[in-house]
A and B are shown apart, each in its own frame.
Chain A
């Protein structure tokens, strides 16, 4: 293990997130089993109070998860000089088999926590907690992801062995480690990817606006936000990054969050993550529109979510177009 301050911070953050989630889930399970709104029992009152604690913890965990996602990439980037062949975060994450799965789990964890918060927000607006069992089921689903993520991240950091000169008369290192770790990610072909991205974004905007105006096609829009999230990440790797780096061979999706590129990655990823959570939130809320106590709540909330996700995708798109337009790279 490498005793770097950022590694310690990552481990601390993950332990706190999964600890908090397990803590919340324990009470969540009690709620799942014993919740009875009709009862005037003292225990029911205690459970009702606990819901506040759990939603506070989840809000905190969701924010921390997003922060730890970026911190993880930062750390991987900081550690890259320690490994032969690693040029940036992409190389460090490749040093052992736990790097990338941890990253994927962090993204899933963030999205699930975000969806939980949307569900919770809707539930809190109604007087009779209609979604309580569903939301604690989702919480129970979130916990294994978080625990797995913490364990994988632990395994990743514990198995990082820096390639250093171990003693002044130690054996030569370079000959032993001739095989380098590739830091380039496999990128999809640029031109078809560009078409997919622009057409997909066009369809997404059109279906979003249509849904916002007419209130029809919510599931389509929600699915599209999810699909376009994947397409956008693939596009960042395929062609957006090379416009930012102004280098046709550099496809890394991580270097863009670094200082050298003016932290432009934040401006791309934060709207993108926000957009996918709010967009998917629409699909999560739609099945509950007909619940009596939520009838007055969900349509308004869905409209807000639609507007937010549309705005965030538009912001993402605007930054992408701006970067491509101002880039000196011509493809």
Chain B
């Protein structure tokens, strides 16, 4: 064992010095290799951490959302039907939500208006607050349910009629701050003014960037929504195993309603991000392929010097297996250097520089886009995937050329130098 380790040490020693002797050739390969790893790693780290972020946020969203559908379109939900949902066994609470979108032509952005649900406020009228814990998916930026881990908090005491609490993204876009007054056009063309009572902390920007929280009276007045309807209804279910049963019952009780469970939203988001990341990799596969061809070419096109070196080594007693081992160490040094450098640079790029290179392709686009810093998240599965997608193709491409080089006859190898 000791002898084997010693042998590998000498081989590595020799490999390193031989690599350093051909700096330019190896450096170009190393640079290209690192670049490939960097690009793939950036795409993967970004999609995975944004997926993680989305799933963390969505885990706090309501278990079931019930929307009214007419002719395949989303409709307002009549309040009188809420009681029918309460009769379903397993439902802990039912709350109507009021939310909607408002297009601001001045800045070309869409805002999300939301009325905090009064569930918690009605129990403790003083110092009442509503914890807003997550977005409902593709439709709303905030869903108000009491939960353990609030993403941001709306103090209902500060929120009075004629005031609004706005998200950080909006405040930035409209250059508005606490105390300022913002005007909105109501459904009937009249103007409505809101004094900004507060802004959400920038920590919650991913979910609150475009959010405006107003009182119920103001919301109904702004959009002309009658008092007997709400936008949709959220159901909380105590036992997570009962969610799908409850959803089935909802569909039975209200055949014209569409229940959406939290898991469905989570799965959909997961798929979207998987697809984006996968698509990016498929597009980049051309680059990987080009790199593999380059590596193949580099490995098979031995220079006269390298051939001569192998010839000398074999002439002084190295066996074919030794040359293959030496070449293996050469590949390992190049691959691991490129892999780790690429992965570390990608990590810095994604989590420190907010992935400036891939942002437009992966994040999506909007006038009012939240500014957020992703939580660093890298795991062994990602690194293994990255390894299989970069180092494995490289190694595969170099096996046959390495074997060819290693089986050169010493006399042929040395004789060709003069040719």
Residues of A near any B CB (own CB < 8 A): 2-10, 12-13, 16, 20, 49, 52-53, 56-57, 60, 64, 67-68, 70-71, 74-75, 77-78, 81-82, 84, 124, 162-165, 168-169, 172-175, 178, 180, 259, 263
Of A6, A56, A163, the residue contacting B385 (CB under 8 A) is A6
**Pairs A–B under 8 Å by Cβ, sample size 30:** A5-B43, A6-B381, A8-B282, A9-B384, A9-B389, A12-B388, A12-B392, A12-B393, A16-B396, A20-B396, A56-B399, A56-B403, A67-B388, A74-B380, A74-B385, A75-B381, A81-B55, A81-B263, A82-B267, A84-B244, A84-B263, A162-B270, A162-B271, A165-B264, A168-B74, A169-B73, A172-B259, A175-B247, A175-B248, A178-B244
B321 touches A52 (CB 8 A): yes
Inter-chain contacts of A178 with B (CB < 8 A): 244, 248
Inter-chain contacts of A168 with B (CB < 8 A): 74, 138-139
Min CB gap B22→A, angstroms: 23
Inter-chain contacts of B251 with A (CB < 8 A): 172, 175
Q: How far, in angstroms, from A84 to B262 measured CA to CA in the complex?
A: 12
B259 touches A174 (CB 8 A): yes
Inter-chain contacts of A173 with B (CB < 8 A): 264
Of B84-92, B156-164, B272-280, the one with at least 4 CB within 8 A of chain A: B272-280
A3 touches B278 (CB 8 A): yes
Min CB gap B30→A, angstroms: 21
Ordered nearest first, which 3 A-B pairs have the shortest CB separation? A3-B278, A74-B381, A9-B388
A163 touches B267 (CB 8 A): yes
Q: How far, in angstroms, from A12 to B274 measured CA to CA in the complex?
A: 17
Q: Mask for B380-419, Cβ within 8 A of A = 1, else 0?
A: 1110110111001101100110110011000000000000
Q: Who on chain A is nearest to B277 by CB?
A: A5
Inter-chain contacts of B393 with A (CB < 8 A): 12, 16
Q: A60-B395, A84-B244 are in contact. Are A71 and B385 (CB under 8 A)?
A: yes
A2-B271, A172-B247 given; name 6 further pairs at CB < 8 Å: A3-B282, A4-B274, A13-B388, A53-B407, A57-B399, A175-B248
Q: A9-B388, A49-B320, A169-B73 are in contact. Are A82 and B271 (CB under 8 A)?
A: yes
Q: Who on chain B is nearest to A2 by CB?
A: B274
Of A4, A6, A53, A169, the residue contacting B72 (CB under 8 A) is A169
Inter-chain contacts of A174 with B (CB < 8 A): 243-244, 247-248, 259, 261, 264
A16 touches B392 (CB 8 A): yes
Q: Who on chain B is nearest to A266 by CB?
A: B380
Q: Who on chain B is nearest to A166 by CB?
A: B268
Inter-chain contacts of B395 with A (CB < 8 A): 60
Q: How far, in angstroms, from A16 to B288 measured CA to CA in the complex?
A: 14
Q: How far, in angstroms, from A3 to B43 measured CA to CA in the complex?
A: 14
Q: How far, in angstroms, from A84 to B240 measured CA to CA in the complex?
A: 13
Min CB gap B176→A, angstroms: 31
Q: Is B16 an interface residue (CB 8 A)?
A: no
Q: Is B69 an interface residue (CB 8 A)?
A: yes
Min CB gap A164→B, angstroms: 4
Q: How far, in angstroms, from A68 to B380 measured CA to CA in the complex?
A: 13
Inter-chain contacts of B44 with A (CB < 8 A): 5
A172 touches B321 (CB 8 A): no
B380 touches A259 (CB 8 A): yes
Q: How far, in angstroms, from A8 to B244 measured CA to CA in the complex?
A: 32
Inter-chain contacts of A2 with B (CB < 8 A): 271, 274-275, 278
Q: How far, in angstroms, from A147 to B174 measured CA to CA in the complex?
A: 61
Min CB gap A7→B, angstroms: 7
Q: Who on chain A is nearest to B327 by CB?
A: A56
Min CB gap A270→B, angstroms: 13
Inter-chain contacts of A6 with B (CB < 8 A): 381, 385
Q: A52-B321, A68-B388, A174-B244 are in contact. Are A165 and B260 (CB under 8 A)?
A: yes
Q: How far, in angstroms, from A248 to B406 measured CA to CA in the complex?
A: 56
In chain B, residues 248-299, which have Cβ atoms closer than 8 Å to a Cβ of chain A?
248, 251, 258-261, 263-268, 270-271, 274-275, 277-279, 281-282, 285
Min CB gap B353→A, angstroms: 21
Inter-chain contacts of B320 with A (CB < 8 A): 49, 52
Listed residue (B260, B389, B396) with the most chain A CB atoms within 10 angstroms of its CB: B396
Inter-chain contacts of B392 with A (CB < 8 A): 12-13, 16, 64
Of B43, B279, B379, B389, the residue contacting A12 (CB under 8 A) is B389
B385 touches A5 (CB 8 A): yes
Q: How far, in angstroms, from A6 to B382 measured CA to CA in the complex?
A: 8
B384 touches A74 (CB 8 A): yes
B270 touches A71 (CB 8 A): no
Q: Is B324 an interface residue (CB 8 A)?
A: yes
Q: How far, in angstroms, from A64 to B394 measured CA to CA in the complex?
A: 13
Inter-chain contacts of A124 with B (CB < 8 A): 321
B267 touches A81 (CB 8 A): yes
Inter-chain contacts of B261 with A (CB < 8 A): 174
Inter-chain contacts of B396 with A (CB < 8 A): 16, 20, 60
A9 touches B264 (CB 8 A): no
Q: A52-B406, A165-B268 are in contact. Are A5 and B247 (CB under 8 A)?
A: no
Inter-chain contacts of A163 with B (CB < 8 A): 264, 267
In chain B, residues 7-58, which have Cβ atoms closer than 8 Å to a Cβ of chain A?
43-44, 47, 55
Q: Who on chain B is nearest to A59 by CB?
A: B328
Inter-chain contacts of A81 with B (CB < 8 A): 55, 263, 266-267, 270
Min CB gap B139→A, angstroms: 8
B281 touches A5 (CB 8 A): yes
B384 touches A71 (CB 8 A): yes
Q: Who on chain A is nearest to B259 by CB?
A: A172
Inter-chain contacts of B139 with A (CB < 8 A): 168
B399 touches A164 (CB 8 A): no
Listed residue (A78, A82, A165) with the most chain B CB atoms within 10 angstroms of its CB: A165
Q: How far, in angstroms, from A178 to B246 measured CA to CA in the complex?
A: 11
B73 touches A8 (CB 8 A): no
